[in-house]
Homo-oligomer: A and B are copies of this chain.
Amino acid sequence: MRSTTSNCRNPNSEIRRRAARSVCFAAALGLGLFGLAAGAKAQGLPPLAKELNPAETALILVDFQYPFTNPDGANYHNIQKELQDKDLLNKTVDLVKKARSLGVLVVHITEGYTGDYREVDATNPGGFHRGQILRQAWKTGTRETSYYPPLAPGDGDKDLFLPPRIQTSAFGGTGLDQILRSKGIKNVAVGGFTTDVCDYATVTSAYDLGYHVYALKDAMASYFPEQGELMLKNTYPMWSKVLSNEQWLAMFGMSQKTER
């Protein structure tokens, strides 16, 4: 093996030697891991799906709770304009009804903490949990974490309503990923609050987990609208297809269907 490494060595300088070795390592890894490399010329890409199978699709609703959905909620004013401009709440209720009728799995993900915040680290320098503690906010069992009533599943609905989470991603500590696999879910659509905070962390982690992600821009609002807009334009498309509710529903052939 010594000779292998030697072949890669540029003896002129220590720094160059390290760089060269990195290339050698990478080359060996590429060949050893996966066999013959493909040719250098660009490959054609397979077409993207134009249709979605409802049985392989979930709609993930993030934090449709009092602070965002009720005019008296602590975070309402931050998103109020966008809520109104998009008629977001009403349109999401409609979206969810249609998703249920299609057989899409509807998943409700919420945020919540115990009364003394014992499950979070008050010394973490990131401000998210510290802010909740400081404001004594998002306590499970208070009106402030109550779910937006029109979205709550009825007795006949097959929605998942998972226990409240403390992480920013909807997949964080909820077991959601494993449940979705066991149900054969391949596609996830994401809506909720907010475009620039929890929705985005949900979308990046969903992509990393291997899902096909659809970001429903009409069902999202931003805490920092300028940032949220840039994210939807620039980086959301790296991890997802950004669609209106109508465009997404049309992927099930829904546009032809009348609402129930």
Interfacial residues, chain A to chain B (CB-CB below 8 A): 1, 3-5, 7-8, 14-16, 18-38, 40-43, 45-49, 112, 114-128, 130-131, 133-136, 139-143, 145-150, 152-169, 172-176, 178-184, 186, 196-197, 200-201, 204-205, 207-214, 223-224, 226-227, 230-231, 234-235, 237-241
Contacts of A14 in B (CB 8 A): 154
Q: How far is the CA of A34 from the CA of B131 in the complex (A)?
A: 20
In this complex, what residue of B is CB-closest to A227?
B230
Most chain B CB atoms below 10 A, which of A18, A182, A227, A239: A182
Distance in Å: Cβ of A79 to nearest Cβ of chain B? 14
Indicate how many identical chains form the complex. 4
A212 touches B125 (CB 8 A): yes
Contacts of A240 in B (CB 8 A): 125-126
Q: How far is the CA of A43 from the CA of B118 in the complex (A)?
A: 13
Most chain B CB atoms below 10 A, which of A1, A49, A165: A1
B152 touches A26 (CB 8 A): no
Contacts of A43 in B (CB 8 A): 133-134, 136
Partner of A114, one of B3, B33, B141: B33
Partner of A30, one of B139, B162, B214, B241: B139
Q: How far is the CA of A227 from the CA of B233 in the complex (A)?
A: 10
